[in-house]
Amino acid sequence: MKICTKCGVNKSLDEYFNQAKGADGKGSECKNCHTERTKVWRKNNKTKELEKQKEYRLLNKEKKKEYDGNRKEERRAYSLKYFRKNRELCNARSRGYKGKNREKIKEYGKQYYHENKGYFSMYSRLKDARKRIATPLNGDIKVIAKIYDKSRELTKKYGIPFHVDHIVPLKGKTVCGFHSEHNLRVIPAKENLRKYNKLITGEA
């Protein structure tokens, strides 16, 4: 028998948890008191509790994402089924929307073109080039689009047309150049080279 230091009750040794440090190999608090103290400790140790909650939320977030993802497929399948069943109605609605929003759609297309001019000119040049030779696009598309943007910038700045030039021609006599950012430079269009030189040297 041993008196618990917490509740002061005299209890048998098996009412105490084992503890190597104790003189009798048992803790100084009875099992009840120890359990109670642990509970209180957990309650007070908020940081740990919060961390656990955070972990739980994170786990749930992933689960929710997965759930929403599954639903997405379901929803898509449903609307496709709906469209097939009501094709005429859907098409009429779409025509109605397009008719009512002709200007809006046109404006949107224009804006999209304006914001992505570099891409458009790059792809149209690429198409031209491909007619002449199979040209691999082996560069960084974003960097190449920027080079075309630069060309337009300079055209605006100097008031004469600038071109994107392939340093090694795409179809040279001895060697073929690549459509890569390392093989591209912005120069004034040939017929304007003299004009450009006058411009930058300040001659009239």
Binding site for Zn ion (CB under 5 A): 4, 6-7, 30, 33
HSE-up of residue 141 (Cα within 13 Å, Cβ side): 8
| Burial (Cβ within 10 Å: 0-12, 13-18, ≥19) of residue 155 | middle
Of 34 and 150, nearer to Zn ion (C-beta) is 34
Strand partners, 165: 185
Report the nearest approach of Zn ion to the CB of residue 23 (Å). 18
Residue 180 · residue 143 · CB < 8 Å: no
Of 29 and 149, nearer to Zn ion (C-beta) is 29
Strand partners, 188: 162
Strand partners, 2: 11
Report the nearest approach of Zn ion to the CB of residue 33 (Å). 3
Report the nearest approach of Zn ion to the CB of residue 62 (Å). 43
Report the nearest approach of Zn ion to the CB of residue 45 (Å). 22
Of 14 and 191, nearer to Zn ion (C-beta) is 14
Of 9 and 92, nearer to Zn ion (C-beta) is 9
- Report in angstroms the alpha-carbon separations of 130 from 135, 147, 163, 186: 6, 19, 18, 20
Cα 32 to Cα 22: distance, rounded to the nearest angstrom: 18
Of 2 and 6, nearer to Zn ion (C-beta) is 6
Report the nearest approach of Zn ion to the CB of residue 12 (Å). 12
Structure tokens at 38: 């642990």
Of 37 and 61, nearer to Zn ion (C-beta) is 37
Cα 144 to Cα 151: distance, rounded to the nearest angstrom: 11
HSE-up of residue 162 (Cα within 13 Å, Cβ side): 20
Report the nearest approach of Zn ion to the CB of residue 11 (Å). 7
